């Protein structure tokens, strides 16, 4: 995997252009104008560069694979009503979902909090505190799990399909 961060700015522009090849030029011009407004909007619009620039470390290359959002950032969360008429707050954007190392979504989310602190009207210290809290909540959820009885029937079915303990 080539590391985009090592490319000169013309290489980065070429990578962005190649990634967006075939898209409507008018909408693309609007996207590029938005991306120039802030580092957070650039992060949102150049997901491929983010993953291409991850360090070649076991944390990112050798972590177990899982279905990941692929473009996890703090604006890709929202509320929706489930079939059971309950309202949930969860990830709401999966258009870049992929089977990827489990660490990728978390590092992208934490990066979004750090580079999007201005958009959140947060100080660097507040962004760091939110990132630490997010990481601790994620760690706790992994350690404690979620009781199967709380999952819906379709989730139980999915979990049984994913069971590799046999």
Question: What tokens appear for 51 in the block?
Answer: 């993953």
Inter-CA distances, 51 with 48, 101, 130, Å: 5, 11, 22
Task: Please check the confidence at residue 23 and state whether its pLDDT lies above 90.
Answer: yes
Span 27-50, pLDDT tens digits: 999 999 999 999 999 999 999 999
Q: What is the pLDDT of residue 6?
A: 57
Give the DSSP per-residue string, 57-111.
-HHHHSSPEEEE-SS--GGGEEEEE-TTS-EEEEE---TT-EEEETHHHHHHHHH
Task: Please check the confidence at residue 155 and state whether its pLDDT lies above 80.
Answer: no
Q: What is the pLDDT of residue 2?
A: 41
Ordered by start, the domain boundaries in the chain are: 4-155
Task: Please check the confidence at residue 149 and state whether its pLDDT lies above 60.
Answer: no
- Which helix (H) or strand (E) is 59 found in, with range? helix 58-61
Q: What is the pLDDT of residue 47?
A: 92
Average pLDDT, the chain: 85
Question: What tokens appear for 24 in the block?
Answer: 């409507």
Give the pLDDT band of residue 54 (cuts 50, 70, 90).
Answer: very high
Question: What tokens appear for 53 in the block?
Answer: 């620039």
Q: What is the dihedral of CA 51, 18, 34, 110, to 10 degrees?
A: 0
3-7, 57-61, 154-158: least confident range = 154-158
Q: Which residues, 6+ apart, have CB-to-CB distance to 68 below 8 Å?
A: 97, 98, 99, 100, 101, 102, 104, 105
């Amino acid at each position: 995997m080539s590391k985009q961060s090592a490319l000169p700015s013309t290489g980065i522009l070429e990578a962005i252009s190649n990634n967006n090849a075939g898209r409507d030029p008018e909408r693309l011009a609007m996207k590029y104008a938005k991306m120039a407004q802030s580092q957070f909007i650039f992060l949102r619009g150049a997901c491929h560069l983010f993953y291409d620039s991850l360090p070649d470390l076991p944390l990112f290359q050798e972590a177990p694979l899982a279905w990941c959002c692929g473009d996890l950032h703090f604006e890709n969360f929202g509320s929706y009503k489930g079939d059971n008429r309950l309202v949930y707050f969860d990830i709401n954007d999966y258009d870049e979902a992929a089977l990827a190392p489990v660490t990728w979504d978390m590092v992208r989310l934490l990066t979004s909090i750090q580079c999007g602190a201005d958009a959140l009207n947060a100080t660097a210290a507040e962004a760091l505190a939110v990132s630490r809290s997010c990481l601790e909540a994620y760690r706790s959820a992994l350690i404690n799990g979620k009781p199967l009885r709380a999952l819906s029937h379709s989730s139980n079915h999915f979990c049984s399909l994913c069971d590799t303990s046999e």
